[in-house]
Amino acid sequence: MRVISHFIDGNHVAGQSGRTADVFNPATGEVSAQVALANAADLEVAIASARAAQPKWAATNPQRRARVFFRFVELVNSHMDELAELLSSEHGKTVEDAKGDIIRGMEVAEFVCGIPHLQKGEFTEGAGPGIDMYSMRQPVGIGAGITPFNFPAMIPMWMFAPAIAAGNAFILKPSERDPSVPMRLAELMIEAGLPAGILNVVNGDKEAVDGILGHDDIGGISFVGSTPIARYVYATAAANGKRVQAFGGAKNHMIVMPDADMDKAADALMGAGYGSAGERCMAVSVAVPVGDETADRLIAALAPKVEALRIGPATDRQADMGPLITKAAQERVFSLIDKGVEQGAKLVVDGRGFKLQGYENGYFVGGTLFDGVTTDMDIYREEIFGPVLSVVRAQDYEAALELPMKNPYGNGVAIFTRDGNTARDFAARINVGMVGINVPVPVPLAYHSFGGWKASAFGDLNQHGTDSIKFWTRTKTVTSRWPGGIKDGAQFSMPTMA
Ligand code: NAD
């Protein structure tokens, strides 16, 4: 059995805890590897290596730090097929979708190739008589990232690229469900010229996370995962005096106005609702057609497309989506569909009976479509994280707007309309962090920043974009006066620079 250990100081290091977890192939249900689960002693080895390596890396000039990322981007591109296949084999998403996962992370590595410019400080000449003032952005020291299973390439890169480019060492604690790609990325960073110890991967579960949250040598923590754990990470790390950003779950709505192009809206919902089997934090899980006529047209366009979804293992290059990540995830989605039926939603397409010959033990769920969903039902209240789309009918624009406004989550939202005034009003008023106008999955590009509102994100700085450079650096402001500028005698009143 293949064992996935830790990656510390440029080497694969066996764990000391004696604990492991099974890694599955979700298409077959077979165990494909065992991953080591770190304890405090394992984490300590990684931190000692990071502590030793970081000062020299921070003192390396920013062009040289950037060059590691230029080479890393080349390496990721040249290993794209291998990485995508590995990713699909543990996650279950299609190989094409896995490439998107890798590319969206690699784009952040491309963005931080501009670190010499991004990390520049501020300078004011003559802030007072003979006085200059300047601000520097210095690394926090050792940063840590705790990542979810659903984007095992993208989210680790979102975190480690800006942190490392800014001069930090980084401890990555990937999801224990699909740890192979994060390990491979760390190897490629070393191959790209990163000094050993600057990127260490510590595999594990809650024990490793708790070690990170309480460790005195870690200055900043970035978390992405479910909302209950995001809250816990945010509160615990902040209580321990660390800077922390913690991104949580979602319930993303897409409003379809009567004037929208219904075919385009239905196609958009197919990709956004069922792509990656709905296991995306930016998946659309609630469609809100405005008016019954719009709703009837939308359901009529959607139902045959949902029935025709091609579901298969990653080896099926024609598949639209693959299985869910675990047996537990599959069972949870089945039970939520059961509850939807019990609580009175109309099941238009039922994915519970889906079977694939030769893959009977895979964690597949067929595409599922509900109509007549109301806000008190469990299928509306919970993040399903599966291929289940709920249609909530709204009688007018204001009623449609109210749904995402009142929802506790605020990650993404979209509106499909041909009316600029409606779109503009929607973008201005909605209390959600990422808004799509005729764009169903509005994930911002690397040079903008990614982050939700409300229960989808805790902390004030987003992932990537200039926010990420701010998050992974501390501001130090120097006020300097040289001897020639000092006036005679002491000054006892508050200096005002007047
Ligand atoms: P998860 O919360 O179960 O796990 C995330 C990380 O936390 C993993 O590394 C895991 O090992 C660790 N963890 C799990 N339980 C823990 C505990 N009790 N204490 C400490 N650490 C713990 O999430 P997941 O199932 O891997 O990912 C899916 C979730 O992530 C969904 O809710 C999805 O919406 C969310 N997500 C959010 C974003 C975003 O940007 N907002 C992006 C991707 C995924």
Please report the atom of ligand 1 found closest to the CA of residue 233: 20
Sheet holding 457-458, edge to edge: 11-13, 6-8, 199-201, 169-173, 142-146, 220-224, 243-247, 457-458
Beta bridge partners of 255: 288, 415
pLDDT single digits (tens) 199-219: 999 999 999 999 999 999 999
Instruction: Find tokens 């995306």 and name the residue.
Output: 280
Please report the atom of ligand 1 found closest to the CA of residue 225: 30
Pocket lining: 404 vs ligand 1, CB cutoff 6 Å: no
Task: For ligand 1, atom 34, name the residue with the nearest CA.
Answer: 249
Region for residue 446 given its phi and psi (left: phi exceeds 0; alpha: psi -120 to 50; beta: otherwise): alpha
Closest CA to 468 of 157, 242, 226: 157
Q: Mean per-residue pLDDT for 340-344? A: 98
Pocket lining: 245 vs ligand 1, CB cutoff 6 Å: no
Q: Which domains are assigned to the chain?
A: 2-248+456-478 (3.40.605.10), 252-437 (3.40.309.10)
pLDDT single digits (tens) 139-173: 999 999 999 999 999 999 999 999 999 999 999 99
Distance from C-alpha of 11 to C-alpha of 6, rounded to nearest angstrom: 8
Pocket lining: 248 vs ligand 1, CB cutoff 6 Å: yes
Distance from C-alpha of 304 to C-alpha of 307, rounded to nearest angstrom: 5
ipTM score assigned to the predicted complex:
0.98
- In the reported structure, the alpha carbon of residue 476 is separated from the centroid of ligand 1 by a whole-number distance in angstroms of 33
Please report the atom of ligand 1 found closest to the CA of residue 210: 20
Pocket lining: 206 vs ligand 1, CB cutoff 6 Å: yes
Q: Can you list the positions of beta strands (E) in 147-203?
A: 169-173, 199-201
- In the reported structure, the alpha carbon of residue 360 is separated from the centroid of ligand 1 by a whole-number distance in angstroms of 27
Pocket lining: 225 vs ligand 1, CB cutoff 6 Å: yes
Residue 300 CB partners (closer than 8 Å, separation 6+): none
Name the residue with higher pLDDT: 128 or 489: 128
- pLDDT value of position 289: 98
pLDDT at 486 over 80: no
Choose which residue among 147, 150, 464 to substitute to test ligand 1 binding: the one with the highest number of ligand atoms within 8 A of its C-beta.
150
Pocket lining: 149 vs ligand 1, CB cutoff 6 Å: yes
In what helix (H) or strand (E) does residue 144 lie, and over which residues does it extend?
A: strand 142-146
Choose which residue among 157, 245, 281 to substitute to test ligand 1 binding: the one with the highest number of ligand atoms within 8 A of its C-beta.
281
Task: For ligand 1, atom 9, name the residue with the nearest CA.
Answer: 175
Distance from C-alpha of 164 to C-alpha of 240, rounded to nearest angstrom: 23
Pocket lining: 330 vs ligand 1, CB cutoff 6 Å: no
pLDDT single digits (tens) 224-256: 999 999 999 999 999 999 999 999 999 999 999
Distance from C-alpha of 155 to C-alpha of 219, rounded to nearest angstrom: 19
Task: For ligand 1, atom 42, name the residue with the nearest CA.
Answer: 281
Q: Is the Cα dihedral 414, 420, 422, 427 positive or negative?
A: positive
Please report the atom of ligand 1 found closest to the CA of residue 385: 31
- In the reported structure, the alpha carbon of residue 154 is separated from the centroid of ligand 1 by a whole-number distance in angstroms of 14
pLDDT at 496 over 90: no
Beta bridge partners of 289: 256
- In the reported structure, the alpha carbon of residue 71 is separated from the centroid of ligand 1 by a whole-number distance in angstroms of 30
Pocket lining: 224 vs ligand 1, CB cutoff 6 Å: yes
Distance from C-alpha of 334 to C-alpha of 102, rounded to nearest angstrom: 30
Choose which residue among 209, 240, 244, 324 to substitute to test ligand 1 binding: the one with the highest number of ligand atoms within 8 A of its C-beta.
209
- In the reported structure, the alpha carbon of residue 173 is separated from the centroid of ligand 1 by a whole-number distance in angstroms of 11
pLDDT at 4 over 60: yes
pLDDT more than 70, % of the chain: 99
Please report the atom of ligand 1 found closest to the CA of residue 177: 26
For residue 286, the SS3 value is: strand
For residue 31, the SS3 value is: strand
Choose which residue among 146, 226, 282, 454 to substitute to test ligand 1 binding: the one with the highest number of ligand atoms within 8 A of its C-beta.
226
DSSP code, position 282: T
Task: For ligand 1, atom 11, name the residue with the nearest CA.
Answer: 205
Choose which residue among 171, 181, 224 to substitute to test ligand 1 binding: the one with the highest number of ligand atoms within 8 A of its C-beta.
224
CA end-to-end distance (rounded Å), the chain: 72
Residue 113 among the catalytic residues: no
Q: How far are the Cα atoms of 62, 121, 346, 457, 462 from residue 474, in angstroms, in the given order? A: 16, 11, 53, 21, 15
pLDDT single digits (tens) 254-269: 999 999 999 999 999 9
Phi, psi dihedrals of residue 86, rounded to the nearest 5°: -65, -45
DSSP code, position 194: P
Distance from C-alpha of 265 to C-alpha of 272, rounded to nearest angstrom: 10
- Whether residue 104 contacts residue 169, with contact meaning beta carbons closer than 8 Å, is answered with no
Phi, psi dihedrals of residue 8, rounded to the nearest 5°: -130, 135
Q: Mean per-residue pLDDT for 9-14? A: 98
Residues in the chain: 498
Distance from C-alpha of 255 to C-alpha of 442, rounded to nearest angstrom: 14
What HEC string does 454-496 produce?
A: ECCEECCCCECHHHHHHHCEEEEEEEEECHHHCCCCCCCCCCC
Task: Tell me whether strands 453-454 and 409-410 are parallel, antiparallel or unpaired.
Answer: antiparallel
pLDDT band at 485 (very low <50, low <70, confident <90, very high): low
Please report the atom of ligand 1 found closest to the CA of residue 452: 41
Distance from C-alpha of 195 to C-alpha of 311, rounded to nearest angstrom: 43
**For the whole prediction, is pTM greater than 0.95?**
yes
Sequence letter at residue 270: M
Alpha helices (H) along 255-395: 262-274, 292-307, 327-342, 378-381
Pocket lining: 410 vs ligand 1, CB cutoff 6 Å: no
Distance from C-alpha of 151 to C-alpha of 98, rounded to nearest angstrom: 8
Exposure of 142 by Cβ count < 10 A (0-12 exposed, 13-18 middle, 19+ buried)?
Answer: buried
Please report the atom of ligand 1 found closest to the CA of residue 227: 32
What HEC string does 77-137 produce?
A: HHCHHHHHHHHHHHHCCCHHHHHHHHHHHHHHHHHHHHHHHHCCCEEEEEEECCEEEEEEE
Q: For residue 180, how many other CB atoms are within 10 A of its CB?
A: 21
pLDDT band at 498 (very low <50, low <70, confident <90, very high): low
Which one of the listed residues 46, 86, 281, 401 is annotated catalytic?
281
Please report the atom of ligand 1 found closest to the CA of residue 456: 41
Distance from C-alpha of 69 to C-alpha of 78, rounded to nearest angstrom: 14
Sequence letter at residue 148: P
- In the reported structure, the alpha carbon of residue 147 is separated from the centroid of ligand 1 by a whole-number distance in angstroms of 7
For 321, the token pair is 């989506």
Q: How far are the Cα atoms of 65, 214, 285, 462 from residue 279, in angstroms, in the given order? A: 34, 30, 10, 21
pLDDT at 304 over 60: yes
Average pLDDT of every residue of the chain: 97
Q: How far are the Cα atoms of 33, 146, 202, 235 from residue 15, in angstroms, in the given order? A: 15, 18, 9, 28
- Full DSSP string of 2-26: -EE-EEETTEEE--SS--EEEEEET
Q: For residue 318, how many other CB atoms are within 10 A of its CB?
A: 7
